[in-house]
Copies of this chain bind each other. A is one copy, B any other.
């Protein structure tokens, strides 16, 4: 079976969905002739032509509205926002229109659109190209928020997202694009909006998503050395949240750590932490632990970025404290 890097896996998903359904189109800056600044849409314009792989002027706001508008008429656009930071120019159309029109129109219109959002720190791109904005969208009614951590998931979750009838904010971590390749079994099937247990363990449940899953697994390795066994859960979707999977894990471990790259303050991990502190109050054997980014802009330079966002070391340290509790 062929192996796919993360970026290639997304491309394969786009390719397969475009082949299967003529209503799937790609729109965004540099998605066509260049094939995407992260190569995700490479060569697709040759295969599907400029009417389906559409290079856009630098007009994120109108683009988002145009795509959402087309979606109400049955098109399934996949819009690339080159860096997720630029989505701020499209917030009005995404939140005030795309996320709400199904509701506002009493169900007359729906917006089957995917917005691809390369995000996260770690690539030396500076404060305006490195944010993790997923928490904003996870809070917003009307949106689905996807955040894959592996090539297979990226593939299946993209295909699934394209087929949903609601706007999906699809967060792709830039650091993952060219990581280790993975086989994708095309017969394996859709993920079904659920979480995945990436590693089984009995002492602490670590919940994370996206790039933080790999770091959490590294931290779990270190914790194993310390004599603690961690269960690592990959949420995959930040909305809807598959809390059943977390609950099952907590039954075993009674200790919860949530690891996320977004700003710790009120991020999506706070939702899970708060939920656990409410719904599993009696079961918890240790403080609910969050490891998120500090509430500062993302600087450039590896040592500075690492001081701001979670790392295997900082995850290890926080979870070890919890494990020992």
Contacts and interface: CB of A to CB of B under 8 A. Distances in A.
A267 interface: yes
Nearest to A308: B141
Interface stretch (A70-78, A223-231, A271-279): A271-279
Interface string A95-112: 110011001100000000
Contacts of A267: 139, 266
A139 to B, nearest CB: 5
A105 to B, nearest CB: 11
29 contacts: A86-B92, A88-B91, A88-B96, A89-B91, A91-B91, A96-B128, A99-B297, A104-B126, A135-B266, A138-B266, A139-B263, A139-B267, A139-B295, A140-B263, A141-B294, A141-B295, A141-B297, A239-B265, A265-B268, A266-B268, A266-B271, A270-B273, A273-B277, A274-B274, A278-B288, A279-B287, A281-B284, A281-B288, A282-B287
Contacts of A128: 96, 100, 104
A127 B139 contact: no
A92 B128 CA distance: 10
Interface in A9-44: none
A142 interface: yes
Interface in A29-87: 61, 85-86
Interface of A: 61, 85-86, 88-89, 91-92, 95-96, 99-100, 103-104, 126-128, 135-136, 138-142, 239, 262-263, 265-271, 273-274, 276-279, 281-282, 284, 286-290, 294-297, 299
